[in-house]
Amino acid sequence: MTKKKLGRGLGELFGDDLDESGKVLDISTDAISGNPWQPRQDFDEESLKSLAESIKKDGLLSPVVVRKKEDNRYELIAGERRYRAAKLAGLLLIPAIVVDYDDRKAAEMALVENLQREDLNPVEEGLAYQKLMETYGLTQEEVADKVGRSRPYVANLVRLLELPEEIKNFLIKKELTPGQARPLLTLPSEAEKVSLARRIVREGLSARAVEELIRGKKPEKPKKETQISEYLKSLEDRLGLSVGSPVSIHVGRGRNAHKGTISISFKNDEEFQRIMNILNQEQQQ
């Protein structure tokens, strides 16, 4: 098997676990099997075909990562999309880094690699966290530490798995954001959750509007000149998911366009203390 020098990025990611001092080996594509811990389930066929055409033209520029199994076979750790496209392009050999990982480390790295590339939808990500916790007895805090997320972020994504299948499909298709879907968990029946989810998708309701609807209030229609941009809405959703509480962002106008406030809502002393612990933890890092 031909050996090549490893590129800097992957060397930094996998560190001392690399086989033969950071060299890349050309391995038969038929000798590699998929990773059972691969969290990503949705591989876009058109995107794979496009990558395959690029590989035919320029070759595979970034190696996959594998671990050695029995009978001279290998199991993918990272790079399944590149591996699938390489096979589609007809490659018989593929550049691969061989690492020495046990099952738990292989599962963690498969998840981290996908998170770094932002390849996962919220349901895939939540399922991956849940599987790590159930299989290896990890706490939400331990999982959060391993993947570089906050504990409330992990907890909220795992909780989304309790939603009905139709709502999870909205999340998979990115028709709903986690921030929009999370308040639905407080509704008593599956029918109510699905009904409101359909309305959110149909009307494009923000996470804050959903919260107000569930509290029994009719959301006020914002004046056109004070409407928050879609970018700010997405930031509110992401921040709210991270701290586990509703977040509002308000920005100024004219000369004050670069000024504003970020507000985090809490219902009681315990929730206030939980939010303060999260903020203090972030500050100490």
Per-residue pLDDT of 58-88, as tens digits, reads 888 888 888 888 888 898 888 888 888 898 8
Last residue of a domain, one of 53, 71, 102: 102
In a domain, 134, yes or no: no
pLDDT of 6 above 80: no
Q: How confident is the model over 148-206, as pLDDT tens digits?
A: 788 898 999 999 999 999 999 999 988 999 999 999 999 999 999 999 999 999 999 98
In a domain, 36, yes or no: yes
Nearest to 236 by CA among 227, 245, 225, 224: 245
Q: How confident is the model over 99-157, as pLDDT tens digits?
A: 888 888 887 777 777 666 656 789 988 988 888 888 878 899 888 887 778 889 899 99
Q: How confident is the model over 247-259, as pLDDT tens digits?
A: 888 887 777 777 8
Range of the domain at 64: 3-102
Q: How much is the pLDDT for 116? A: 62
In a domain, 113, yes or no: no
Mean pLDDT of 243-272: 79
In a domain, 203, yes or no: no
Q: How far apart are CA 160 and CA 106, in angstroms?
A: 25
In a domain, 89, yes or no: yes
Parallel/antiparallel/unpaired status of strands 260-264 and 247-251 = antiparallel
Inter-residue long-range contacts of 174-177, CB under 8 Å, 24+ positions, other chains counted: 174/121, 175/201, 176/200, 176/201, 177/122, 177/207, 177/234, 177/237
The catalytic residue positions are 80
Last residue of a domain, one of 102, 122, 152: 102
φ, ψ of residue 205 to 5 degrees: the values are -65, 140
* CB-based contact 61:37 (threshold 8 Å): no
Last residue of a domain, one of 76, 102, 128: 102
Q: How much is the pLDDT for 162? A: 94
CATH code (residue 48)? 3.90.1530.30
In a domain, 29, yes or no: yes
Q: How far apart are CA 142 and CA 150, in angstroms?
A: 10
Q: How much is the pLDDT for 20? A: 47
